[in-house]
Amino acid sequence: MAADEPSIGARTVRGMYWAYGSFVAGRSLTLVSTAVLAHLLNPRDFGLVALALVFTALLETVADLGIAQALVITREEEVLERADTVFVVSVALGALLSAVIAALGPAMAAFFSQPELAWLMGLLGLNFVLRALGITHYALAEKRLDFRARTQAEVLDVLVRGVVSIALAVAGLGAASIVLGYLAGTAVLSATLWVVVPWRPRLRARRDHLRGLVRFGVAYSAVDILAAVSANVDDLFIGRVLGPAALGLYSIGFRLPDLVVINLSLVAGRVLFPAFAAVARERLPAAFIIAFRYTMLFAIPLAVGLAALAEPVILALFGERWQGSVDVMRVLALEALLLTMNIPAGTIYKSTGRPHVLLLIGVPRLLVLVVALALFVDDGIVAAAACQAASAGVMAVVATALAGRLLGVGWRSLLAELPAPLLAAAVAGAVMAVLAWSLPPWPALLTGIPAGACVYVGLLWLVRRDAVVEIRRRLRPARAHHLAKS
């Protein structure tokens, strides 16, 4: 093991494999089901569901006041007792929020002049109770780095969601098919977690436990609320000003950057959070640089590839009716990359008990974003996407700089990690763009993806061979396990 590399242990290495396995399987199934639904439904159906999900996504961030995440940093000897409190509070809040979202339905339907929103939001409200039943088990699995259990539950969630949604769409249920599939998936997720995580609640909540859990959870929830508002405020503007059909096109343009770039990095962040929490303070600077390095090595080529192949991806997977999503996807691929830069820094703030720093950064970003959307949303969905990308860029720079200052990591150390992946991704992107321009959609994808991957890896081997060797080493479980023990 390199002298400057902090050992995060064999459990973390195994956790990373299971987390990425869940990511690949889950996102592949999601992509397939979304592509099928795009051929069965129209942009307006997707837009209506996107509007309903805006409000549920915001309330999901406070569904348990963040106390489930507080279990991750709780001392091992206290975690099981505190889990009882987390379960009781989470279920109670889930029931309350289900009622709140159902009550908001008619008001939101009137605001957006879309009557269907009233009953769609009422249905989606049930998701809070279903989710609350499994959220404590989910946190306990994360605490123990048991990503195998989480993987099983998450893959079944996505599989059931896709199968149910497609079956109901074929039956002609329209937008309701997506919502009912969503509920079915969450129900299976929670049920599976009860089976694979060996813990049962005793339905006892202790006030003294709640105080400490809430102290951390409120700050954590505030960060999540801010992130959710920033991620969804563009949907509100587009739905109100441009209508649900435009929002449907926007949501498809957002789907792949979210699935491929942002979620890949979020998976890494979920694994790094408990791992960073266990790393000694003096080892965090090295851990931060390593996390930034590998996040960029993967995120940059993925974002560039999506931008280069945006048109064949949209036409091949979703069909010609979604042509209006192409330019949106290109811009949102850039936004996804910029948001990804925040993941290592955000994980550092959370694992060191400083989630409030993300609030200090995020509030100005949200204010700027709202003003920009108010000024430019009339220019269309591409302009709205550009507002998101610009605000994400500012936040990425500020968040990374502050994390570096907190740990004593200079800008030069971080900037030194960027030239190699940027150069390799730029050349690979140019190759993919030529193929996208000269070939029909499916041939462009079938040749562009492997060609871009080969060019990227080949150039990276020439300019940053040590990183390629290290990635290859970490992709060998037996070897990684041996090194983690050393």
The model's pLDDT over 79-115, given as tens digits with 9 standing for 90+, comes to 777 788 888 888 888 898 899 888 989 998 998 889 9
> Which of 190, 221, 252 is the last residue before a domain boundary?
221
At 440, give phi and psi (nearest 5°). -60, 165
Distances (CA, A) of 33 to 36, 165, 372: 5, 8, 34
Query: Do 256 and 316 fall into the same domain?
Result: yes
d(CA 70, CA 78): 12
CA–chain centroid gap for 155, Å, is 15
Query: Do 402 and 279 fall into the same domain?
Result: yes
484 belongs to a structural domain: yes
Averaged pLDDT score across all residues of the chain: 83
Number of neighbours of residue 459 by Cβ within 10 angstroms? 18
Query: Do 296 and 435 fall into the same domain?
Result: yes
Per-residue pLDDT at 209? 63
Query: Do 168 and 248 fall into the same domain?
Result: no
Query: Do 70 and 202 fall into the same domain?
Result: yes
Q: Is the pLDDT of residue 327 over 90?
A: yes
Task: Pull the structure tokens for residue 457.
Answer: 């890896």
214 belongs to a structural domain: yes
Query: Do 274 and 163 fall into the same domain?
Result: no
22 belongs to a structural domain: yes
At 231, give phi and psi (nearest 5°). -75, -25
Q: Which of 46-50, 218-222, 263-267 has the highest mean pLDDT?
A: 46-50
Interval 27-80: pLDDT, tens: 678 888 989 999 999 999 999 999 888 877 777 766 666 666 667 666 666 777
Per-residue pLDDT at 483? 38
Q: Which residue has the tokens 């969804």?
A: 232
d(CA 252, CA 326): 9
81 belongs to a structural domain: yes
Query: Do 215 and 354 fall into the same domain?
Result: no
94 near 129, Cβ under 8 Å?
A: yes
388 belongs to a structural domain: yes
Q: Which of 14-23, 257-266, 458-467 has the highest mean pLDDT?
A: 458-467
Output the CA torsion sign for 377, 380, 383, 388: positive
279 belongs to a structural domain: yes
Query: Do 271 and 203 fall into the same domain?
Result: no
* 18: nearest Cα among 168, 196, 162, 170: 196
Task: Pull the structure tokens for residue 60.
Answer: 């999901």
Query: Do 336 and 481 fall into the same domain?
Result: yes
At 475, give phi and psi (nearest 5°). -85, 5
Where would I find the H helices in 309-380?
310-317, 326-340, 342-351, 356-376
Q: Which range of residues forms the domain containing residue 55?
A: 1-221
Share of the chain above pLDDT 70, in %: 80
Query: Do 124 and 94 fall into the same domain?
Result: yes
57 near 228, Cβ under 8 Å?
A: yes
Any idea how long the chain is? 486
Query: Do 183 and 252 fall into the same domain?
Result: no
Number of neighbours of residue 289 by Cβ within 10 angstroms? 20
> Which of 221, 253, 275 is the last residue before a domain boundary?
221
Query: Do 9 and 78 fall into the same domain?
Result: yes
229 belongs to a structural domain: no
Count structural domains, the chain: 2
The reported pTM is 0.79
d(CA 149, CA 154): 9
> Which of 186, 221, 256 is the last residue before a domain boundary?
221
Q: Which residue has the tokens 């569904």?
A: 63
Q: Which residues contact 243 (CB under 8 A, 6 or more apart)?
A: 47
227 belongs to a structural domain: no
SS3 246: helix
